[in-house]
Chain A
Amino acid sequence: MVPKRPSARTLREWGTAYAFLFPNIIGLFVFVFMPIVYALYVSLYDWNALSPKVFVGLDNYKDLLGDKGWWRSVGKTITFSVIYVPLLFVSSLLSAVLIHALRGRVSGLARTMFLMPFAITSVNSAIIAMYLLDPRRGLINWILSGFGVPSQDFLGSTSQAMFCVVVVLLWINVGYNMIIFLSAIKEIPKDYYEAAHMDGAKRGQTFFRITFPLIKETNTFILIVTTIGSFQVFDQIMVMTKGGPAGATEVSVLYIFKHAFELLNMGYSSAMAFVLFLIIFVLSLFQLKLFSRDEER
């Protein structure tokens, strides 16, 4: 069927919609799209930001293949992501279900408490966490000492730092993801639960048979968004460890930052940023495909 010419009214509506979208599109174009294209362009040059650019073709990408530090940082990012994403997913979902079961003021209070670390600036949250994890004066070691556990180095230990970073980021982000889960759970009609209850379903069964399948879209959304986020983690690690000790928490974005702003290798760091962008892009596509196939079944 050949579509008819849109009516004057539809045209007006489109006009209004585009007028509202216009500032945003400009913003996206100037601050997102153009920098991506520019980064791709710069990645073909040897450039320290101070001297004129020298065209080097794909040399930066070739260097990157043999750069052990870069691949180590990619490894650290994957380690972080593999621990962080499932933990965040499970703990946010679990806390959403528990808070959903609460009633009245307690529920509001619990939500506020969970959301608090997210509501304050992430750098502040990271600094608070550093105080808690301080080897000599931190609250956590003080509590541990009560159980006779010797003082731990936490962020100052090569073996514990990454795990501590994961825990701190969980603490910061659980609240936000929990709210998203909570709103999805609230959308599920109560009748389903009542019917299940009358049929004698246990709590576990209602969760796995009703709640979980009915918030599938939210699950997909959270998984994709947190995976992308985990590959972009930067500010909290920058504050807490700067990638140390001895590179134990030097994830890719930190490695890129170091090359861009400490060593001023703008061309090389742009190449790395672009490769990281491709990794995230492919991973997100893969995830989307995986979940959409799930839905088709």
Chain B
Amino acid sequence: MQSFKWRPLLIASLLAVLLLQIGCGSNNGGKEASSSPSSSATNSGNASKEKVTLKFWDFHTEAEQKFFEDLVAEYNQSQDRVTIEYSTSNQQDYTTTKLPTAFASGDGPDIYMISPGDFMKFAKSGLMADLSPYFPSGSKEDFLPAALDAVTVDGKIMALPYELELLGLYYNEEMLKNANVEVPKTWDELLAAARKLTTDKVAGLVLPPDKGPYLNFIWYPFLWQQGGNVLSADGSQSTFDTPEVAKALDFYGSFFREKLAPSKLQFGPWEIDNIGSKTAAMQVLGTWAINRAEENFADVPIKVAPLPLPDGGKAATDAGGWKFAVNGKSKHVEEAAKFVMWAFADDPARALKWCTEIKFAYSPRQSVVDAGKEIYSKGMRQVFTEQIYSSAIPEPTYPSEIVDIVGDAMQYVMFGKMDGAAAAKEADGKIKSFLSK
């Protein structure tokens, strides 16, 4: 009798133990993985040498993920000192939650990828090791000085740039021909062309409508073309309340206010699918779009041209791209940095494969661009190589707060809440107040 009454209690207790075990089980898993880079050097069977395990995180998918998996496998086989463990997660989670929470709990990876938008925050928090001492001899000179300058803080190279993605104006040649529109070379021509090409089914020009780092990234060239900038060269002063900023804001905003650029898109603003699906005639996009245009939309006559210029303006384009970083708090900075250098600062073949076969981007290394001469002059790539590459300016590594303030100013102008001058003035005040903190 007694044992029967105790049965529910027994079951409940067992359930509780089981639940706790499941909880703790996964926790332990995390702990094991996390402690491995910093402290748990595991024995490699060779009792005298300790093998180090390093965590490497990024956000790549499909072919790009495979490239890094293969790269890691190759490196792990090539030596017996270090084992790299590669893991990838979706980009949104990676940047907004996974990296910050992992670092916050001291569980961050030893090697990771960082976007220009997040660069400063991580660099200033001691989460990037100085990579300067680890460049193979002579390889530093192989990099474009501007590309290294963009990742240099207080004279230290905090990350390794491994790709430059340049912006251009993509267009559907047939649509332009049918509407009797020449490929726009000036701002006025771009606006006029967009007006002519916009119908109730086709967007004249696709630009990013939503706030975020990508919106700013696409807009910066229009500011730079006039010689304007968000901050002074040393990053200490706001230069936002200027006629150049107001003009760039008004120009960008005019496409939305006149409904020539859609305020809502079905495809991402970074996808060539907008032109590929024939729902857009023109789009400001980066080099990454070329492979997809060729593979998926071969039947659509997609072409590319340099970004149109304002009167008296100077050609400028944004050179975006993720960077490789080594956790400054890792106990194995040297081992991690060696892997990073091996991957993209050493043998040009690996960098060339990444930039030409896996995706299309420019390498920040002259030797890689030279080695890939043939590919870099194929089809639309030739336009980038011959007409756009020389005007590239690396994407700024502004703090997120500034990216947010600039994004607000753009949105106010795009959706008719303010004109460029008023938005520039308001944002200038906010930037100054942020910089004074």
By a beta-carbon cutoff of 8 Å, the part of chain A in contact with chain B is 12, 15-16, 19-20, 22-23, 26, 48-51, 130-131, 133-137, 151, 153-158, 241-248, 258, 261-264, 266
> Is A242 touching B408 in the complex (CB atoms < 8 A)?
no
Cβ-defined partner of A156 (8 Å) among B200, B212, B262, B404 = B262
Cβ-defined partner of B97 (8 Å) among A20, A242, A258, A261 = A261
For A261, list chain B residues within 8 Å (CB): 96-97, 100
Cβ-defined partner of B121 (8 Å) among A23, A50, A131, A157 = A50
> Is A263 touching B400 in the complex (CB atoms < 8 A)?
yes
Indicate if B203 sits at the interface (CB-CB under 8 A): yes
A212, chain B: closest CB distance, angstroms: 40
> Is B203 touching A136 in the complex (CB atoms < 8 A)?
yes
> Is B279 touching A19 in the complex (CB atoms < 8 A)?
no
Among the 9-residue stretches B41-49, B239-247, B411-419, the one with 4 or more Cβ atoms under 8 Å from chain A is B411-419
| 8 pairs of residues in contact across A and B, judged by CB atoms under 8 Å | A19-B16, A48-B125, A131-B266, A137-B279, A151-B200, A158-B417, A241-B210, A245-B210
Q: What would 16 more interface pairs be, CB under 8 Å, given A50-B104, A51-B125, A136-B262? A: A12-B5, A19-B9, A22-B16, A23-B19, A26-B20, A50-B103, A50-B125, A158-B417, A241-B210, A242-B212, A244-B210, A244-B411, A245-B411, A246-B417, A261-B100, A263-B401
For B412, list chain A residues within 8 Å (CB): 246
For A135, list chain B residues within 8 Å (CB): 262-264
> Is B122 touching A50 in the complex (CB atoms < 8 A)?
yes
Indicate if B101 sits at the interface (CB-CB under 8 A): yes
> Is B100 touching A50 in the complex (CB atoms < 8 A)?
yes
- Closest chain B residue, CB of each to CB of A20: B12
Query: For the complex, what is the distance from the CA of A264 to the CA of B95, rounded to whole Å?
Result: 11
Query: For the complex, what is the distance from the CA of A266 to the CA of B104, rounded to whole Å?
Result: 10
Quick one: CB contact mask for B1-24 with A, threshold 8 Å, 1 for yes?
000010011001101100110000
B7, chain A: closest CB distance, angstroms: 10
With A50-B122, A151-B200, A156-B263 already in contact, the answer to whether A242 and B9 are too (CB < 8 A) is no
Cβ-defined partner of A153 (8 Å) among B104, B124, B264 = B264
For B12, list chain A residues within 8 Å (CB): 16, 19-20, 22
Cβ-defined partner of B211 (8 Å) among A51, A244, A264 = A244
With A48-B125, A50-B100, A50-B121 already in contact, the answer to whether A16 and B415 are too (CB < 8 A) is no
Query: For the complex, what is the distance from the CA of A22 to the CA of B13, rounded to whole Å?
Result: 9
> Is B15 touching A23 in the complex (CB atoms < 8 A)?
yes
With A19-B12, A50-B103, A246-B417 already in contact, the answer to whether A262 and B263 are too (CB < 8 A) is no
- Closest chain B residue, CB of each to CB of A151: B200
State how many residues of chain B have any CB contact under 8 Å with chain A.
Answer: 44
A226, chain B: closest CB distance, angstroms: 27
Query: For the complex, what is the distance from the CA of A258 to the CA of B405, rounded to whole Å?
Result: 12
Query: For the complex, what is the distance from the CA of A247 to the CA of B416, rounded to whole Å?
Result: 12
> Is A154 touching B264 in the complex (CB atoms < 8 A)?
yes
Quick one: CB contact mask for B181-210 with A, threshold 8 Å, 1 for yes?
000000000000000000011010000011
Q: Which of chain B's residues 361-415 have a Cβ closer than 8 Å to chain A?
A: 400-401, 404, 408, 411-412, 414-415
For B96, list chain A residues within 8 Å (CB): 261-262
For B411, list chain A residues within 8 Å (CB): 244-247
With A16-B8, A264-B121 already in contact, the answer to whether A50 and B210 are too (CB < 8 A) is no
A190, chain B: closest CB distance, angstroms: 38
Indicate if B30 sits at the interface (CB-CB under 8 A): no
Indicate if B127 sits at the interface (CB-CB under 8 A): yes
Indicate if B126 sits at the interface (CB-CB under 8 A): yes
> Is A137 touching B266 in the complex (CB atoms < 8 A)?
yes
> Is A15 touching B211 in the complex (CB atoms < 8 A)?
no
B342, chain A: closest CB distance, angstroms: 27
- Closest chain B residue, CB of each to CB of A266: B104
Q: Which 4 A-B residue pairings sit nearest by Cβ, starting from the closest?
A: A156-B263, A156-B264, A50-B125, A19-B12
Query: For the complex, what is the distance from the CA of A76 to the CA of B87, rounded to whole Å?
Result: 39
For A241, list chain B residues within 8 Å (CB): 210
- Closest chain B residue, CB of each to CB of A150: B200
Query: For the complex, what is the distance from the CA of A248 to the CA of B412, rounded to whole Å?
Result: 11
A159, chain B: closest CB distance, angstroms: 10
- Closest chain A residue, CB of each to CB of B411: A246
